[in-house]
Structure 1
Amino acid sequence: MKLRQLAVALLVNEKEELLFLRKRKEDAFFANFYLPIGGHIGEHELNNPEAACYREIFEETGMTRSSIRDLRLAYIIHRLKETEIRIQYVFVGRVHANQILVPSNEGELFWMSTDSSTLTTNISETTYELVKHFKEHLSTNEAIFVGSMHSAQGLPAITWSTLEDWERKQ
């Protein structure tokens, strides 16, 4: 079994739109799909997924740390894909809608609303479930959510729980 770790950013503007990268049509991995900003965590970043997230944001958008407000770990998603366990560390941060974005060689950048009609075309199942949960829960919650991707009656789903230090005194 292989382990793949990813750092992903849900970047939100003041219109509550999310920044997505539409992969190129000729890409082998998620061709023409809309994905949050992010990618693989490098070997030197394994203990610091936030650093990997900032690196991916810069590589795919040109934005620096100073362009992003309140970036924080909000989700950890687990998924089994064939012989690979995938762990996504999803960070959420705020940016301005008029933020200058550098063209990416990985695809085209788009601000997208989170309404259900927008999220039905060329969005991975994991991204769909993540954005659906984000819309329903995260705007008013500072918790870190842990999700496990699975099949629910043949359809993709994520079961969510909050990450807690159960030994911490309240």
Structure 2
Amino acid sequence: MHDEINLRNMTGIYISRGAEMLMLYRIGSRVVEPSWCGIGGHFEDHELNNPRICVLRELEEEIGLKDGSLKNLHLRYVTLRLKNGEIRQNYYYFADLKPDEEVTLISEEGKVEWIPFDKVLDRKMPLTAKFMLEHYMSIGKFTEELYSGITTETGMVFTELKEF
């Protein structure tokens, strides 16, 4: 039974510059082994109802980048996975870096790197992020929709999340 389920809420942001995506090789995470992911992290208590505030705080903390350096910042995916007695809920944002903005490729969280789009999925990354990015690269980057995804043993089941 699932009587003792905990919740873990996290955000992540994937920033594009031309045909490259900014990713972090995260080292020392409490949740995932060393692997590539977006910039992000866990919610603070006061952020639980506002993932945008959380992702922007994490972005500034981890690489010193602020909201004003981005354009087209949108929540694109909300995913769920049951792992280690937790429902892990991820809010994934995507944005473009404004022209002439610089990114510090130094972070206390790990190694930050611009990765060509065609190489992103070759990187080792957390399962949920991998499934989400596979969907994004084949479908999501060509739409403006918000998607919800449930992680399974073999993939992720996506549906468009619509307001009605």
In the superposition, the TM-score normalised over structure 2's length comes to 0.88
The alignment partner of 1:151 has SS state of coil
Alignment partners' CA distance in 2, 1:118 and 1:18: 8
Matches within 5 A, 1:71-86: 71-86=73-88
Q: Is residue 2:17 matched to residue 1:13?
A: yes
Unaligned stretches of 5+ residues in structure 2: none
Equivalent residue pairs, number: 159
| 8 Å CA contact retained: 1:72, 1:92 | yes
Matches within 5 A, 1:71-150: 71-96=73-98, 99-101=102-104, 103-115=106-118, 118-150=120-152
Change (3 A) 1:145 1:28: closer
Task: Report Cα offsets for 1:114-147 as digits up to 9, x if no partner.
Answer: 32x5523422221211111111112221110000
Alignment partners' CA distance in 2, 1:165 and 1:119: 31
| 8 Å CA contact retained: 1:57, 1:63 | yes
- Superposed structure 1 runs of 4+ greater than 6 Å apart: none
What code does the residue aligned with 1:74 have? Answer: R
1:52 maps to what in 2? 54
Alignment partners' CA distance in 2, 1:163 and 1:118: 25
1:37 maps to what in 2? 39
Unaligned stretches of 5+ residues in structure 1: none
Change (3 A) 1:14 1:47: same
2:6 maps to what in 1? 2
Deviation at 1:165, TM superposition (A): 2.0
Deviation at 1:42, TM superposition (A): 0.8
1:161 maps to what in 2? 159
| 8 Å CA contact retained: 1:62, 1:102 | no
Choose 123-132 or 33-42, whichever is displaced more: 123-132
Task: Report Cα offsets for 1:86-130 as digits up to 9, x if no partner.
Answer: 100111110158623152111110111232x55234222212111
| 8 Å CA contact retained: 2:105, 2:113 | no
Task: Report Cα offsets for 1:49-100 as digits up to 9, x if no partner.
Answer: 0000000111111111110111111000011002100100111110158623
The alignment partner of 2:104 has SS state of coil
* CA RMSD, 1 decimal: 1.9
